[in-house]
Amino acid sequence: MKIQNDLSDMTVLEELGHRLSKQRLDLGLTQAGLAISAGLGKRTIERLEAGKSVQLDTLVRILRVLNVLDRMDSLIPDESAPRPMELLKLKGKERQRASTNPKSAKESKKPLKPWVWGDGE
């Protein structure tokens, strides 16, 4: 089932519980094993998988043990990272080439003295 805004809170919690249960089973963990690894009670895992509400720190502990905590980054993106539209706006303003300093351009037009062995430089 796809989680969408039009679903009730209870339905979303039940779907999340189902997905976490599947992830746990895919890793070959029992509810008791997950509870021990996360430092929680088995009843807490049962409640979560049944679609009941749990505390946020409990969810973080479980996600960490199930190796899916890093997926939270895609759920709620980092605000300091540039957004795709900002990147598109900046694209046309990217530096294409280095400009020459007018002073150094004039100096480069001066003829160079030929180098001779024994100049000492």
pLDDT tens by residue, 53-89: 999 999 999 999 999 999 988 887 777 766 777 777 7
- What is the pLDDT, as a whole number, of residue 73? 85
pLDDT tens track for 7-17: 999 999 999 99
- pLDDT for the residue numbered 84: 73
Domain range list for the chain? 9-71
Distance set, CA 89 to CA 77, 79, 86, 98 (Å) = 19, 17, 5, 21
| Rounded CA separation 41/32 (Å) | 8
Mean pLDDT, rounded, of the chain: 83
Domain 9-71: which CATH number of 1.10.1760.20, 3.40.50.720, 1.10.260.40, 3.90.226.10: 1.10.260.40
pLDDT at 94 over 60: no
Quickly state the pLDDT bin for 109 (edges 50, 70, 90).
low
pLDDT of residue 108: 57
User: How far from chain centre, in Å, is Cα 69?
Assistant: 10
Residue 106: pLDDT over 60: no
